Amino acid sequence: MKRNIITLAALLLTLSLSAQMRINIGAENLRKLQIAEMAISNLYVDSVDETKLVEDAIRGMLKELDPHSSYATPKEVKSLNEPLQGNFDGIGVQFNMVEDTLLVIQTVVNGPSEKVGILSGDRIVTVNDTAIAGVKMPKEDIMKRLRGPRGTKVKLGIVRRSVPEMLYFTVTRDKIPVKSITASYMIRPTIGYIRIDNFGATTHQEFVEALSSLKEQGMKNLMLDLQDNGGGYLQAAVQIANEFLQRNDLIVYTEGLRQNRHDYLAEGNGQMLTGKVVVLVNELTASAAEIVSGALQDHDRGWVVGRRTFGKGLVQRPIDLPDGSMIRLTIAHYYTPSGRCIQKPYKKGDLKEYEMDFENRLKHGELMNPDSIHFDDSQKFQTLRQHRTVYGGGGIMPDAFVPLDTMQYTRFHRQLAAKSIVTDKSLRYIDNNRNTLKKTYPSFQEFNSKYQVPQSLIDTILDAAEKQNLKFKDDEEMKRTLPYLRLQLKALVARDLWDMTEYFQVMNEENHIVQKALEVIKN
């Protein structure tokens, strides 16, 4: 324990040598930490977990700073980094758990599992001769058994429909790509659609490839969907914004008490320097996604459509600790080109109030009516080309507001989703009818135009709801639930037969922000 405290102190003292991090730790305060540690480890009445004690102390210090300074254990660091790094080592399958059995939804194209002959609909029941089905094994433990270092082998026991005996495959683990662009297609003639889920190491390359493909299909204007995008790497956001802006246009700048202002400028070599651009945002659009939204809005390069974004504008610097854990320490703020601070207000140490922001916005009516949003005149800014008024003080306010439709997603539908009834029953339906569906609808276009969700699937869902004592309030609620439930089910079937692009092609036709964006582009 003492070694841990001294190691941390030594690390901080080493960092103090950096000109960029002028940390001044008083010897008296450092001595207090050492005395507290020694007293607890030598005098406390019960035994203590020294590692946890150190981690709790670090968390306690960070908690009093801001909502985004944080500490992560080695395990948490790995889990947090995987979606952003662009790959992980594994067997290359997308799967879902049906009750306690792992059902393969899709194999990664040219991935390890596809190469040995594993198919959609297969059930993985053993891993290295250890049963994982029917034993109620936690999903995290199953993931640990399937993943492993590149080049290592894993033996899988598989049950396949229409094959009476167990099948065995030996899969050699490999690098599995993690895509941050989940959908890319022509939503209308001349209008392309790209959805970015996060900003990771491979986002820019994926984006460039998507743009090239859409341009070959006749794209002139682009709908960039950043709804629910929680952010990611700053550099990835800068690279994406660069695709739209002229040379030397300011994309974002960072500045802090001990961090001099740093400007990020466009190089002017992007693929979308002309054509209409609309950026789709909502209350869960945050951080790097807000950088892109703010840059395009401030330069009048694109219109922002949706609802006010989250307001996460604090820059974190990762500080690696000797055991593989990490401190992410806030060192600066993000500012849009017009000078708006993206970060919304917060009280130091009051994380609960910060996390209640969505509920507070809903309660105050902000998600339904833009007139409920009250801006401070001191936070009034001008866009850089057309000199339109925009506001700072937290998040990016869209140019075209789209209210949250609480009637579309009913209380009963939310209950079904919370109990995983919709996904579970749709998986079972697809599993039972996969071959028939593929023969009936050989292409997505044919599926999209002709497929109708069968009443039997709806009845299965309603029966499952009744068994869990979930009831709709009245016939009116049931009537409002069914259209969107059918749409969601159709999208889930499309996703499992094809991919996420097809899922969003179905869902976007009823997404109010997407439909408003189409109006904006046309007008």
Rounded Cα distance, 501 and 182, in Å: 6
- Establish whether 153 is a catalytic residue: no
- Establish whether 312 is a catalytic residue: yes
Q: Which two tokens mark 510? A: 């009823």
Catalytic member of 113, 184, 312, 496: 312
Distances, alpha carbon 38 to alpha carbons 26, 41, 492, in Å: 19, 5, 57
The angle that helices 203-216 and 234-242 make with each other, rounded to 10 degrees, is 20
- Establish whether 180 is a catalytic residue: no
Catalytic member of 298, 357, 399, 496: 298
Q: How many H helices and E strands in the chain?
A: 18, 21
Q: Is 231 left (phi over 0), alpha (psi -120 to 50) or beta?
A: left
Catalytic member of 120, 287, 293, 426: 287
Partners of 95 in the beta sheet?
104
Q: Which two tokens mark 298? A: 């401030």
How many CB atoms within 10 Å of residue 158? Answer: 20
Inter-residue contact 464 to 421 (CB < 8 Å): yes
Q: Which long-range contacts does 339-342 make (Cβ < 8 Å, 24+ apart)?
A: 339/381, 339/392, 340/294, 340/298, 340/379, 340/381, 340/390, 340/391, 340/392, 340/393, 341/313, 341/392, 341/393, 341/394, 342/290, 342/291, 342/294, 342/311, 342/312, 342/313, 342/394, 342/395, 342/396
Inter-residue contact 297 to 383 (CB < 8 Å): yes
Rounded Cα distance, 85 and 177, in Å: 9
Rounded Cα distance, 298 and 300, in Å: 5
Active site residues: 287, 298, 312
